[in-house]
Structure 1
Amino acid sequence: MDAKVEKSGCPVMHGAITESGTSVMDWWPNALNLDILSQHDTKTNPMGKDFDYREEVKTLDFDALKRDMHALMTDSQEWWPADWGHYGGLMIRMAWHAAGSYRLFDGRGGGGTGNQRFAPLNSWPDNGNLDKARRLLWPIKKKYGNKVSWADLIILAGNIAYESMGLKTFGFGFGREDIWAPEKDVYWGSEKEWLAESVLRYANEEDPETLEEPLGAVHMGLIYVNPQGRDNKPDPMKSARDVRVTFARMAMNDEETAALTAGGHTVGKAHGNGLESNLGPAPEAAPIDEQGFGWINHETRGVGRDAVTSGLEGAWTSEPTKFDMGYFDMLLDHDWELKKSPAGAWQWQPVAIDEKDMPVDVEDPSIRTMPIMTDADMAMKMDPTYREIMERFRADPEYFKDTFARAWFKLTHRDMGPKARYIGPDVPEEDLIWQDPIPAGPTGYDVEAVKSKIAASGLSISEMVSTAWDSARTYRGSDMRGGANGARIRLAPQKDWEGNEPERLSKVLGVLEPIAQEAGASIADVIVLAGNVGVEQAAKAAGFDIKVPFSPGRGDATDEMTEVSSFEALQPFADGYRNWANTSYDVSPEEIMLDRTQLMGLTGPEMTVLIGGMRAMGTNHSGTKHGVFTDREGALTTDFFVNLTDMAYKWVPTEDGIYEIRDRKTGDVKWTATSVDLVFGSNSILRAYAEVYAQDDNKEKFVKDFVAAWTKVMNADRFDLA
């Protein structure tokens, strides 16, 4: 008789939606995690598939929204009173910290998605009490509803705050679409605790340039640098070096960095008039009755003059609700000494100051309080380069205001992509080089005639497909940069990138450029058309007569339109699609492939079909044969999948990291492969996709799916087609 099984415990999956769960990755941490490719699934979006925010926002009453935002700035609420009756400083910090998480290396972070609403950003130590700022915005979001996204509203709040305090801003563009779940694709560091020692992210602590890529902040949980100095050890010269590196990783030069520092601290204050130990947990860890609030002080009064956020306490200027030149006078005209705030944080205070130059208390104007500077502020005074810029700004207030307004606009719009994506009445007319401008391209030429000339040019399928792919693969949906539009593959720095095979690229461009010129087409269009011709020829060789969709109109950028230094960040150091890796990073080629796939906006199935098709067409970098599991190279067949899943073969690793595909009976080496190839047979999810295309009845499906995915890549940066 079977033993009686007692029922006990909770009848639901423990940890199913929390970190305490036992997930596949918990059990097998070395498995390839494909979650990055399925984030922001439509199932998480409450708006439905037919909702188009970029069309909805065009119907917004922009003037009414701005009037309401201006009114909000001075409508102080008892539950979170405004400093000096003005929320400007808080709103600017919210917008700044949303936009300031952007990093140039991979284009991730930034304020373009409203990601500050979700973990981990909503609970970062550096974002303390920004939950209050977003809650103050809720009545406006509620009123305007679907016509304005949280992402737009958060950034707009900073813009309106500056206008409310006297700055003429450079402009504003709407069009940021919200996400509805935390981002899984952003690597913020490997540390397991907030504000961990900086040694964990520097190869050499004395060299700020060795900060781990793609990170920009000196500690886990900070936007930029520690206001007390790295590791809470004040050292203005060291902070200057940290500031320079972290702002450069947002594509800011020294002048923009100095302007942003001065303009950011011209208004508002730091909060540290109390004990940090009295604060409750951050929003993600707070009890349910806090309803999304974090850092609540239930021990003592924790609002107004008694609020604690960064731990530093004080304003930077005499009149913190006015955008003026007071920051320069305060910083440059006083000697400063280190002191501790009431919360115990290091800050700099004037050695001597007239009472009339001190800011008043945020609640009682009869009380004067001591101004402060952070270690990063002192860097602006003590570093010779920054000091020279600060003196220049002070001597020319209008130049400073214009420089800051432009830098603020860049900070808050950098991750939106080209200006063509901006919406609204306040979009500046001026084209800025960091927007990667591209002129409109011609559309009236004879596309079929151009294709015929390309087909007769003598270029191989591999040459045509590889060149088009290399031109388009730079696109990244994180900040909408790169892509085939503009044909920047023919310009510095891209023409010299190892991944683009400069010798082969030069040969192909030498053939395609005369064809474009004769036809009156852009080179950008002709490069893509050549890739399409190659795909069509490969499909025909496999027995399928198919036409790859094409939309003319790409333009050709010039050297003058190209910011070479920022485009260096788009250089691939590996490309699984072309079976190439040249990297010293401690990540597997498969993980790099997933990262690139996510940046291009592709799904797991799309990645799979593209890999199989490109292997079959022989598009590997430098013509290597790894993964070319076919005797019909150049034909768009399913052979990659058929032979990958064929148990007639076994897979033998070699000492150089390459795998030999051997016939089980004879032991003969049939093919070779990389780990990027074999992962499509070893990973259970990818194998499921691969098996679909290995089936006898899916040859035509494979070709159609490949063409659809290929077209998606070629058109990823065609915002004019949306």
Structure 2
Amino acid sequence: MSGNESGGKCPVVHGGNTHVNDDVMEWWPNSLNLDILHQHDTKTNPMGEDFDYREEVRKLDFDQVKQDVMDLMTDSQDWWPADWGHYGGLMIRMTWHAAGSYRVFDGRGGAGTGNQRFAPINSWPDNGNLDKARRLLWPIKKKYGNRLSWADLITLAGNVAYESMGFKTFGFSFGREDIWHPEKETYWGSEKEWLATSDNENSRYDEDRNPDSLENPLAAVMMGLIYVNPEGPDGTPDPAQTAQDVRVTFQRMAMSDEETVALTIGGHTIGKCHGNGDPDNVGPAPEGADVEEQGLGFNNHVTRSVGRDAVTSGLEGAWTTNPTQWDHGYLEMLLDHEWQVVQSPAGANQWEPVDIKEEDMPVDVEDPSIRRKPMMTDADMALKVDPEFRKVCEKFRQNPDQLDDAFARAWFKLIHRDLGPKDRYIGPEAPTEDLIWQDPVPEGSWNYNVEAVKKQIAESGLSISDMVATAWDSARTFRQSDKRGGANGARIRLAPQKDWVANEPERLQRVLKVLEPIAKQNGASVADVIVLAGNVGIEKAAKAAGHDIAVPFRPGRGDATEEMTDVDSFQWLEPLSDAYRNFLKKDYSVQPEDLMLDRTQLMGLTAPEMTVLIGGMRVLGTNHGGSKHGVFTDREGQLTNDFFVNLTDMSYSWVPTGDNLYEIRDRKTDKAKWTATRVDLVFGSNSILRSYAEVYAQDDNEEKFVQDFVKAWNKMMNADRFDLE
């Protein structure tokens, strides 16, 4: 071997830090990317399959944990000193930005998974220096270990911070379980650069910058921000336009105008912005920093970068006279002064009072003998100039107790929105009051004769497709992202669900007229009977195919009422597509199979579970509107593996006949045997999905298909049974 050969080749496998097009999606970008179904693959979880965080967290000394977090607030560290000796503002911002990534459209984001530890969120420009807040919390996390998740600790820190500053919070619940790798497939926007302005081709607005043109499911106005640009639209002060941005953004977090104003006031009563330095000296974000930074980012190694000289947002100053205590000075400061646009030392646009008494100015974060001018962001000024926001401000100013209550409730909602219903709350400070945004469901009955109910359903005259489709429609709204939806509560009977096109309102009402009297006669909930009907349909279909199998069932679901249902927020759960029933409300810019993956991930199903359920639903004849697309069987209504057998049969060819429509033709006669859509054929065309389809098409796996279908079905019917945890 020559010296060149021995010394010129790298002796390690490439693909870690060296990129050589090892991603299938880069070679074949039109291939269906199934990564979204592997977001929380257990292979990345170091805790093991037997670890149950929700059991471990119950072992915590809750009072001592809270005291440790309280003590941290005033334990200023030299490596990252606290403003005014109090970390409250920093911790509140960390909690706020973790929870504030939630969006109601798909329930993704939020504080419920500890995802702020990972890219891209840990490196968003808006999250500058929050890595320091998490590192300050590490000794507490280290102390309590597996009993305290990062997700709970990050959320708890902000709540305790408010209490340490004199505010009475609404309460707190533990129970958030950590993820262990980035949620890479969560859609945060299409921009290719941070903070792209509206004149950029990657902007998320139309050319007129209409707030309503903001692309779903997004809530923030720019890539890299949690809410709106604090300097104003695209960095230009315009409080009236910013008010519209604020309103749309907070509505997409399921917040009303009153909640929006309360949250803004409460958030800006504490702490300050940091922009007293040269932003060009700020180093890379955590994901771009070198190894010696040890997971930290946004570091300034050129000049002093802590205390009064820190640079984060670029704006500089506190909002109130006393930024380390809860008071009502924010509204006095905002409403009692005239404000003008100035530039911070870092060059950011902000608002400064035209005239202010020295005693009304906050003191310097390091030297209490120095007074600094307060500031307001463009979003603060929006509360003053927007007529509706101004009304709420004036009401709160006249009634400070109402402000305290409104903020306590809105803050609790912000940090608990994605934790799910009250059944999931853990800890001594979990409030007992039912809140409508928690989607409350009354306790159901366990004491009725399940077999008698099943017998009545079986003899009711309902078809297998009616029973299975109705149960599926009731359960499919479940979102594991924020634990909303599902069969519990039977909200399919109520507005808005009863009128959704996806639920076939006429068919739904016909089925409910049969099932509701059965529930009443037997003392069962309608929710239970709907699920039982689906089970009965599957058992009948399996038996017709020669398989005697019982579908598991646990009673106890309750029936919600209209008064328990937030109709406006439930509109976001409407299925715009459902590959399981071959339904598309209309044509979309993305392919039906991509919509299938998105809904599957939201429901918490895996790729194999998706495969077996769709194959089974097709042969049961549950397609929306009774269409025959993908019903690859001559035995419709029987739970067979015919979908997979015929999909993989090379006796047939697959011919496009229209937009999202195909014919399955006999190769010998060229006669059409069946029709199909893209979500049918993708199980034969995608190499990964085909590997699953082939398993179920095998001659020796018909029994396995039935068993796997029932298991996946049961998982969906009980996905929202938090009362069983």
How does the TM-score come out when normalised to structure 1?
0.98
Please state if 1:148 is matched with 2:115.
Answer: no
1:245-394 equivalence runs, <5 A: 245-394=248-397
For 1:564, the equivalent position in structure 2 comes to: 567
Distance 2:19 2:160 in 1: 39
For 1:190, the equivalent position in structure 2 comes to: 190
Letter paired with 2:65: L
Distance 1:324 1:288 in 2: 43
For 1:9, the equivalent position in structure 2 comes to: 9
Letter paired with 1:403: A
Local SS of the residue matching 1:651: strand
Contact kept? 2:339, 2:351, Cα under 8 Å = yes
Shift of 1:11: 3.5
For 2:552, the equivalent position in structure 1 comes to: 549
Distance 1:655 1:42 in 2: 41
Would the alpha carbon gap of residues 43 and 656 (structure 1) be closer, same or farther in structure 2, given more than 3 Å must change? closer
Q: Give the total of aligned pairs.
A: 720
Letter paired with 1:442: S
1:1-150 equivalence runs, <5 A: 8-16=8-16, 21-150=21-150
Shift of 1:9: 2.8
Please state if 1:452 is matched with 2:455.
Answer: yes
Contact kept? 2:198, 2:207, Cα under 8 Å = no
Please state if 1:665 is matched with 2:668.
Answer: yes
Distance 2:600 2:461 in 1: 31
Shift of 1:585: 3.1
For 2:164, the equivalent position in structure 1 comes to: 164
For 2:405, the equivalent position in structure 1 comes to: 402
Would the alpha carbon gap of residues 552 and 268 (structure 1) be closer, same or farther in structure 2, given more than 3 Å must change? same
Please state if 1:483 is matched with 2:486.
Answer: yes
1:577 to 576, 580, 583: 580
Would the alpha carbon gap of residues 451 and 110 (structure 1) be closer, same or farther in structure 2, given more than 3 Å must change? same
Shift of 1:19: 6.2
Shift of 1:693: 0.4
Distance 2:607 2:9 in 1: 37
Local SS of the residue matching 1:544: coil
Local SS of the residue matching 2:664: strand
2:701 to 675, 679, 698: 698
Shift of 1:18: 6.7
Distance 1:196 1:203 in 2: 13
Local SS of the residue matching 1:143: helix
Please state if 1:710 is matched with 2:710.
Answer: no
Contact kept? 1:198, 1:218, Cα under 8 Å = no
Between 373-382 and 647-656, report the one with greater CA deviation.
647-656
Distance 1:17 1:663 in 2: 50
Distance 2:12 2:438 in 1: 50
Please state if 1:617 is matched with 2:620.
Answer: yes
Distance 2:506 2:259 in 1: 38
Distance 1:565 1:19 in 2: 46
Please state if 1:640 is matched with 2:640.
Answer: no
Letter paired with 1:700: E
Shift of 1:22: 2.4
Local SS of the residue matching 2:417: helix
CA deviations 1:589-632 (Å, max 9, x no partner) are 10110011111111111000000000010100000000000000
Local SS of the residue matching 2:649: coil
Shift of 1:14: 2.3
Distance 1:441 1:646 in 2: 47
Contact kept? 1:203, 1:212, Cα under 8 Å = no
Shift of 1:584: 4.3
Local SS of the residue matching 1:670: strand
Shift of 1:13: 3.3
Would the alpha carbon gap of residues 584 and 324 (structure 1) be closer, same or farther in structure 2, given more than 3 Å must change? farther
Local SS of the residue matching 1:201: coil
Distance 2:23 2:659 in 1: 33
Distance 1:110 1:19 in 2: 31
Contact kept? 2:319, 2:376, Cα under 8 Å = yes
Contact kept? 2:21, 2:27, Cα under 8 Å = no
Contact kept? 1:198, 1:219, Cα under 8 Å = no
For 2:634, the equivalent position in structure 1 comes to: 631
Distance 1:9 1:499 in 2: 58
For 2:513, the equivalent position in structure 1 comes to: 510
Letter paired with 2:181: A
Letter paired with 2:116: Q
1:413 to 412, 416, 435: 416
Distance 1:197 1:633 in 2: 54
2:243 to 240, 248, 252: 240
Distance 2:40 2:295 in 1: 21
Distance 2:588 2:408 in 1: 37
Letter paired with 1:101: S
How does the TM-score come out when normalised to structure 2?
0.98
Letter paired with 2:291: I
Unaligned ranges ≥5, structure 2: none
CA deviations 1:9-65 (Å, max 9, x no partner) are 324332246766421011001100001111221111111111111011111001111
CA RMSD of aligned residues (A): 1.3
Local SS of the residue matching 2:654: strand
Between 180-189 and 411-420, report the one with greater CA deviation.
180-189
Contact kept? 1:360, 1:366, Cα under 8 Å = yes
Unaligned ranges ≥5, structure 1: none
Local SS of the residue matching 1:262: helix
For 2:180, the equivalent position in structure 1 comes to: 180
Distance 1:423 1:651 in 2: 53
Contact kept? 1:204, 1:210, Cα under 8 Å = no
Letter paired with 1:76: S
For 2:534, the equivalent position in structure 1 comes to: 531
1:228 to 228, 231, 242: 231
1:588-603 equivalence runs, <5 A: 588-603=591-606
